[in-house]
Amino acid sequence: MKQKGWKAGKIILGCGLLLMLLPIISFAQPYPTKPINLIVTFPPGGTLDTSTRILAIKAEKILGQPVIVSNVGGGAGSVALGQVAKKRPDGYDITSCASTGLIRIPQLRAVPYSHEDFVPIMHFTSVQSGLVVKSDSPYKTLKDLVEYARKNPGKVNYATSGAGSPMHMAMEYIADKEGIQWTHVPYAGGAPGLTAVLGGHVTAMSDSTEWLPHVKEGSLRLLVTHGERRMKSFPNVPTLRDLGFDFINETVFMIATPKGTPPAIVKKLEEAFHKAMEDPEFVRTIQNLEFDVAYRNSEDTKKYLEDAYNRFAVMIKKLNITKEPEKK
Amino acid sequence: MGVFDSILYGFQVTFQPTNILFCAIGVLVGTLVGVLPGIGPAGAMALLLPATFRFPATSTLIMLAGIYYGVQYGGSTTSILVNIPGEASSVITCIDGHQMARQGRAGPALGIAAWGSFIAGTIANIGLMFVSIPLAKAALSFGPPEYFALMCTGLIIVTYLAQGSILKAVMMALVGIILGSIGLDVITGLPRFTFGINELTDGVGIIPLVMGLFGISEILVNLEESLQREIFKARIKNLWPSLKDWAEAKWAIVRGSIIGFLLGILPGGGAVISTFVAYAVEKKVAKEPQRFGKGAIEGVAGPESANNAAAGGSLIPLLSLGIPPNPIMAIFFSALIIHGVQPGPLLIKQNPDLFWGLIASLYLGNALLLILNLPLIGMWVKVLEIPYRILFPLILLFCLIGAFSMNNVIFDLYVMIFFGAAGWVMRKFGYEAAPLILAYVLGPMLEQALRQSLLISQGSFLIFVSRPISGIALGFAFLLLLSNFFPYFKKRRKEYEGFKE
């Protein structure tokens, strides 16, 4: 009887020792050992969601563990980023976001995180945007529109999908540089703005590629694009830089993880997602969206965001973009 | 190709076995999603989207469309049975639909909703075939001033929604406008009335709001009066709409279909607004408007037809212009792009199989939905016999899941519970939730349209009357407002004369 009890005790002791060892054993195994949660910072069905989901399908094959994509919408990505910033930095909770939520939103309104709470893993897409007018309007180039605005102050108005967006900033940057005035008419989203410019209710629209089919079909004319490079579909349309304006829409779609994630895990994720980007299905989807497949690794993305953050800070001041007053 | 050749071609596409299967899956999933409160079509479609990467674009679109109008079918079920709208566009159905159920007429209510949806879906489809391109072009002439005028008319409709005191309805509408103004101000991009809560930057979510005001408060109210339930359970009469029901509802269905189709084309909350407008119109043309709110079948037939027709109508801007008029159409837009189909004015020319196949599938899907839903009515009515102690926890669970699954944010649950309690208090004191919801939807659109118009006009209010569409619409709205006062004056005069005697 006594003997038996002792034996049971030994077994329990043995199990206890094993349990204590378990974390060490699992630590010894290479990351990842369990499914990875990937939070998309916008609601399902949008461009970020669509491109991330395809990327995730490819990345999970490389990582050997499922990548579970879920969406947390709200506040231009800031609700999700606020949540992810508080997660344990162990590489099992990562996020796919637009750089907007990291560099622009925190400078415009109070949010419970800063861009320094995140380590970028890589960015995979750069977003395109541009300025369009109706094709039966007399403006053939950006210069025509600027000259008309110079002669008729207040007559030119333009739609965007949001105050403080890069598309809004681009227009105000031009106005500031040329010393002209035009009226900003913000809309809630690209579709209503598109309707407004097609219906002739506003002179122009400065927005992401919602206008694309209409430019191809001929009802709208693309005057200028805001990207680093010209768009493949419209090689003859200049970028703002081509015209001498030092402005690009710096928005990128990126994967990030909370600050403090071990460098080895960041490296592993960086490699996996970079490899996933080579998949033809992913490339085709991004091209269909008329974005550019663009890659920067963790280190370069960090620098890129830092620069963009500072440039944006200067721009807000210079262009008088309204922002939430800071709390005392 | 004429329209008839084209549609024949469309049927050839649709009647391929895989496409029939996709259509059936779509409408089935849609019905389920519609019946479950809160789990909206947008979420369901987005989740299924990655699964469709391997399939052709036409099949995918047929399935997604099936989900979309399947939801409009299913949404009325919970409104009628347990007074909980499955979607925002079924809010108005609660008013008379649930009263019918309480009188033991759940079967006819569900039946007329299903038939109304079928007829409306077919009418919208015919409209889609013949007039989509000119109508889409006409919708472009709606700029901010026109929207402003339209929203004004919409808000005046609040006075028609009132079952009891008009004053209370107007008060609720004002509360709705205040709730609607929470969140980002579109013009400056800055948050308003968020009290530093990051989750409120996008405003109070409509699903938690609707679920709280209707669902949770319904449960609370019923918990108090559960003893009376035996009475209305015992009175489940016929399952099908009678000839008398049909006679009362037939024009409501036709009117609802036309209203829904036309308003569905406009970007914004077309489907939701159309149900409110259809209800107001039915109440206005009815011989005995006092029947409304007490189980008038037109009050179910009109709005339910309208939301289905609006589902058809909202395909027009997407397919003929490439402009997604609501979040659900935005998912369609993504689906097209993923499959390498460029939505836009050239879609019909470049992808005739897709366009006509989709339209033909709408006929098929509508028929499938009717076949699927009519036998289910008998089953749904039995839901009313489930004891409350089982039914209520289940409803509560579905409400919680529904409110959470929109954004996966806990905060939405607090919002729902808060409005559940508020809704309970409102009912105790005779304040209705429907005007609040309508004003909540219209308020922000009204404000945006007003401010955009004034930006465009450089601050001149003349823009609202100098443009023909907005001028006429505002004039109409003004007359509508005046017409409300006539019965009031008459009453006062009578009272006054009575007083004199």
Q: What is the pLDDT of residues B314-333, one digit of tens each?
A: 888 888 877 777 777 877 88
pLDDT at A2: 47
Between B1 and B132, where is the model more confident? B132
Closest residue in B to A201 (Cα–Cα): B143
d(CA B356, CA B39) in angstroms, rounded, equals 30
CB contact under 8 A, B408 and A109: no
Cβ B345–A217 below 8 Å, yes or no?
A: yes
Question: How many angstroms away from the CA of A135 is the closest CA of chain B?
Answer: 15
Determine the pLDDT at residue A16: 56
Average of pLDDT values for B1-16? 81
CA dihedral B370, B373, B374, B375 (to 10 degrees): 130
* Measured distance CA(A59)–CA(A273) in Å, rounded: 6
Question: Cα dihedral sign for B461, B464, B468, B471?
Answer: negative
Q: Which two tokens stand for residue A43?
A: 């609601």
Reported as a pLDDT band with limits 50, 70 and 90, residue B229 is low
Count of CB pairs separated by less than 8 Å, A with B = 164
Which residues of chain A does CATH 3.40.190.150 include? 36-127+251-319
Mean pLDDT of chain B: 82
pLDDT at position B234: 46
Q: pLDDT (tens digit, 9 = 90+) per residue, B462-496?
A: 888 888 888 988 888 888 788 777 767 777 777 77
Residue B231's pLDDT is 46
| pLDDT, tens digit, 9 for 90 and up, residues B407-453 | 778 898 999 999 999 999 998 898 888 889 888 888 888 898 899 99
Neighbours of A68 (CB within 10 A): 13
Report how far residue B275's alpha carbon sits from residue B328's, in angstroms, rounded to the nearest whole number.
18
Mean pLDDT, chain A, whole residue set: 86
Mean pLDDT of the B238-245 span = 78
* pTM of the complete model: 0.80
Residue B376 has what pLDDT? 81
Low-confidence residues of chain A: pLDDT under 70:
1-28, 45, 326-328
Give the chain B residue nearest A194 (alpha carbons): B323
- What pLDDT is recorded for position A23? 46
On whether the CB atoms of residues A231 and A238 are closer than 8 A, the answer is no
Residue ranges making up the domain that contains B448: 3-500
Indicate yes or no: CB of A162 within 8 angstroms of CB of B189. yes
In whole angstroms, give the CA distance from residue B184 to residue B194.
9
- Kindly indicate the confidence band of residue B6, based on its pLDDT and cuts at 50, 70 and 90: confident
- pLDDT on residue A130: 94
Q: Which of the 8 DSSP states describes residue B293?
A: T
Nearest to residue A45, comparing CAs of B435, B149, B326? B326
User: CB pairs under 8 A, 24+ apart, for B287-292?
Assistant: B292/B95, B292/B96, B292/B163
CB of B454 less than 8 A from some CB of A:
no
Single-letter residue type at B152:
C
Task: Give the least confident one: B161-165, B299-303, B372-376.
Answer: B161-165
pLDDT score for B39:
65
Positions of CATH 3.40.190.10 in chain A: 129-225
Q: Does 3.40.50.720 match the CATH number of domain A36-127+251-319? A: no
Quote the number of domains for chain B: 1
Q: How far apart are CA B274 and CA B153, in angstroms?
A: 12
SS3 B15: coil
- Architecture of the domain made up of A129-225: 3-Layer(aba) Sandwich (3.40)
Confidence bin at B337 (pLDDT 50/70/90):
confident
Question: Considering chain B, what percentage of its residues have pLDDT values greater than 70?
Answer: 94
For A321, other C-beta atoms within 10 Å of its C-beta total 20
Better-scored residue on pLDDT, B87 or A131: A131
As a whole number of Å, the end-to-end CA separation of chain B is 76
The whole-number pLDDT of residue B256 equals 92
Give the dihedral sign, CA B405/B78/B203/A99: positive
Per-residue model confidence (pLDDT) at position A191 = 77
- For residue A300, the distance in angstroms to the closest alpha carbon of chain B comes to 29
CB B64 within 8 A of CB B26: yes
Q: Which value does ipTM take for this structure?
A: 0.76
CB contact under 8 A, B346 and A216: yes
B270 and B264 in contact (C-beta within 8 Å)? yes
